[in-house]
Structure 1
Amino acid sequence: MRIFNAALKYILLFLSAFSLSLTQHKGDAFVKQGVDAFFNYEFEKSIEILSKARSAYPDHPVVHVVWAAAWYHFDQSMYSADSVYSNFEKRLNEIEFLYDSLVVAYPDNFEYLLYLGTSQSLKARIYLGEKKYLSTFYAAYKGFKSIQKSEQGADKTKDVYLPIGVIEWYAGLKNPFIQIAARSMGINPSRKEGIKKMEVAANESAWAWIEAMSILSITYQFFDLNKEKGLLTSETVSKKFPDNFGYGLYYALGLMQNGKIDEAKKKLKSLNMQLSDQRPYHQKRYNPYLSYLWGNYYFLTENNKAALEYLNNCINNYNSDLDIFLAKALLLKGKIHDIQNNRFEARRAYKECIKLKNQTAAMDFAKQYLNEPYKG
């Protein structure tokens, strides 16, 4: 049984990695240049800036963890999973040692505890990819406890609401084992409260707002459905970072979910042109996502033949451990077959969707339509 859902595959990577407190630090402007370059998919530029910043400002609380995450995304766009995880683990061990030293040297500076917890939490992404689920939860919890301690500081900022909100939201998903474990560790398993905290980070934090908006767009579009908020959050980050292909995908989905079909088509055409400029592994990952979006577009414009062609391309070529788009593609394929009175194929698609066990809303709809056909 897959204990961990698809959303966590995305969320754990970023668990507060780009939050920065409201406290001013020497080198903030330089570090921000590196962070902005990262979010705009300018990975080499980001790594170059952040590497220089680490040397120039070794006591800066955020630069080390941002540097490690930037390298992770660069490696992910270029290399196989084994190499990516190996490199990421080495860098996380390096920065965890640095943050441990900074916590000892500056015991009254709670920001170092925040980023020590962040580096510990990021290890969960490695264990998740290796399907070591208990290690995944333990690593996330270990980081969470350090982050909780950082809340005790007099200089507590809104940025800390992001990692705490993510953990509470994740623990509130339907898996009873995770809920029991969470309660035993003092974590409140509540999707509603978790979302509230993430919204605070999105609307009131200094730098964490970017990643909070990104996580919330996925939450609103795939899990706790809210089409208006899904569009607002995805549009905000997509327009802020127009070269971030992933943000563009979620923005296109938000447009379609809100009936803005003409705008969605324009965005999809733009994404088609951008796809060939992406790195090799990003092309493999994102092409099926884009195929789903075109399938959804043709479904909404009542061209079910074209929709099925794109959906089958998405399903047959899916190449990502983040299977939230795959779930949507299988659900939509089943709905189209139901419209065409092909109940056998519809049920088969719904069953494949349910097998993903990724806790998305698509699973709930698939279970509903498995028992009662979709009627449009």
Structure 2
Amino acid sequence: MKGVDAFFNYEFEESIEILSKARTEYRNHPVVHVVWAAAWYHYDQSMFSADRVYSNFVNRINEIEIVYDSLVITYPNNSEYLLYLGSSQSLKARIYLGQKKYLSTFYAAYQGFRSIQKSNQGPNAAKDVYLPLGVVEWYAGLKNPIIQIAARSMGITPSREEGIRKMQTAAYESTWAWIEAMSILAITYQFFDLNKEKGLEVSQTVSEKYPDNFGYGLYHAMGLMQNGKINAALEKLELLNKKIVLQRPYHQKRYNPYLSYLWANYYFLTNNKKASLIYLDRCINEYNSDLDIFLSNAFLLKGKIYDTQNKRFEAKRAYRKCIKLKNQTAAIDFAKQYLNEPFKG
């Protein structure tokens, strides 16, 4: 567990060192190999460009798949090996998602889904299984007809509601998957299936558990603002301002625009639209991430500010840029709404 905690708290070198030793000493442990690959992925992401990150990630996933395959053959009655074989297979979906290859994302996730389904049998089935099952069902339920058709042809019922229910089970009842489940639910509640109260609950839980995880801190600040806790949000933002300079090079490039958006949102909520627009321009111009959920929110907020200033042409231009991202977030739906009818404030 020490290696897992170090990983989630952004202590990547320590995590990799511990997990690398554990892979040798406890080769039969079901969790250690997939967390080792994930730790390397996040370390690489903080240090290198996307192409190198993805290349290294694929090599490590292939390596751990071989290990899990051998463990499944040796211990056919141990469902946890099937679960983490499926989880390792599903990790390839992260690469395709970053490249916006949505159908490839689904097929990669489905490859793991089949192994995971086999592990979800009998009274001793681990609750951890509900995270990947829920993610696949939720992802299949997004507004992409091609993915929905593919899902149904494979026996998967696309359902965002059922997917969320399964992820909630993993978040509150699983042994290993609860941290990742809560972090995924934070993003889901804050950017997709909006639920501000639950978004704050899960983001606060993981941020307080792992205070050095800068990403968790960002989502916690977002949750505070969504729930009207402006003073607490300001304290969190000021803390993040101090911590951003301590992050690794590529994490700074990735997270600085996220932080700029949060400051823009803070100034919007405190009725300082001039400052908000400055931070929005900074977010948009410096955006350097394959995860564009903050970018779509930035375009949406920019359009809303222009609408309140009776600058309808500029507002529509911002809404169209938001819609063009096609990332399935709630921001896209709001942008379509405000494109037809101006935001009133």
Equivalence for 1:50: 19
Give the 5 Å matches for 1:290-305.
290-305=259-274
Equivalence for 1:206: 175
Alpha-carbon deviation of 1:124?
A: 1.9
1:222 and 2:188 correspond = no
Other structure's SS at 1:310 match: helix
**Partners of 1:127 and 1:230 in 2: CA distance:** 26
Give the 5 Å matches for 1:1-376.
32-130=1-99, 132-376=101-345
TM-score by length of 1: 0.90
Alpha-carbon deviation of 1:154?
A: 4.2
Alpha-carbon deviation of 1:153?
A: 4.2
Between 1 and 2, higher relative CO (CA 8 Å, sep ≥ 6) is seen in 1
Equivalence for 1:5: none
Mapped contact 1:109–1:153 kept (Cα < 8 A): no
**Partners of 1:291 and 1:369 in 2: CA distance:** 23
Alpha-carbon deviation of 1:81?
A: 1.4
- Equivalent AA in structure 2 for residue 217 of structure 1: A
- Equivalent AA in structure 1 for residue 92 of structure 2: K
Mapped contact 1:127–1:136 kept (Cα < 8 A): yes
Q: Which runs of 5+ in 1 are unaligned?
A: 1-31
Deviates more, 1:120-129 or 1:258-267: 120-129
Deviates more, 1:300-309 or 1:122-131: 122-131
**Partners of 1:137 and 1:165 in 2: CA distance:** 13
**Partners of 1:132 and 1:193 in 2: CA distance:** 24
Alpha-carbon deviation of 1:208?
A: 1.2
TM-score by length of 2: 0.98
**Partners of 2:104 and 2:163 in 1: CA distance:** 22
Alpha-carbon deviation of 1:35?
A: 0.4
Other structure's SS at 1:160 match: helix
Other structure's SS at 2:92 match: helix
- Equivalent AA in structure 2 for residue 188 of structure 1: T
Mapped contact 2:137–2:163 kept (Cα < 8 A): yes
1:161-220 Cα distance to aligned partner (Å, 9 max, x none): 111011111111111111111011111100011111111111111121111111111111
Mapped contact 2:106–2:136 kept (Cα < 8 A): no
**Partners of 1:134 and 1:282 in 2: CA distance:** 28
- Equivalent AA in structure 1 for residue 297 of structure 2: K
Mapped contact 1:110–1:153 kept (Cα < 8 A): no
- Equivalent AA in structure 1 for residue 236 of structure 2: K
Deviates more, 1:287-296 or 1:121-130: 121-130
Alpha-carbon deviation of 1:223?
A: 0.5
**Partners of 2:46 and 2:88 in 1: CA distance:** 21
- How many pairs align? 345
**Partners of 2:279 and 2:25 in 1: CA distance:** 49
- Equivalent AA in structure 2 for residue 69 of structure 1: A
- Equivalent AA in structure 2 for residue 124 of structure 1: A
Alpha-carbon deviation of 1:86?
A: 1.3
Runs of at least 4 residues of structure 1 off by over 3 A?
127-135
**Partners of 1:122 and 1:130 in 2: CA distance:** 14
Mapped contact 2:320–2:335 kept (Cα < 8 A): yes
Alpha-carbon deviation of 1:365?
A: 0.5
Other structure's SS at 2:91 match: helix
Alpha-carbon deviation of 1:84?
A: 1.1
Q: Which runs of 5+ in 2 are unaligned?
A: none
Mapped contact 2:99–2:290 kept (Cα < 8 A): no
Alpha-carbon deviation of 1:128?
A: 3.6
Alpha-carbon deviation of 1:325?
A: 0.4
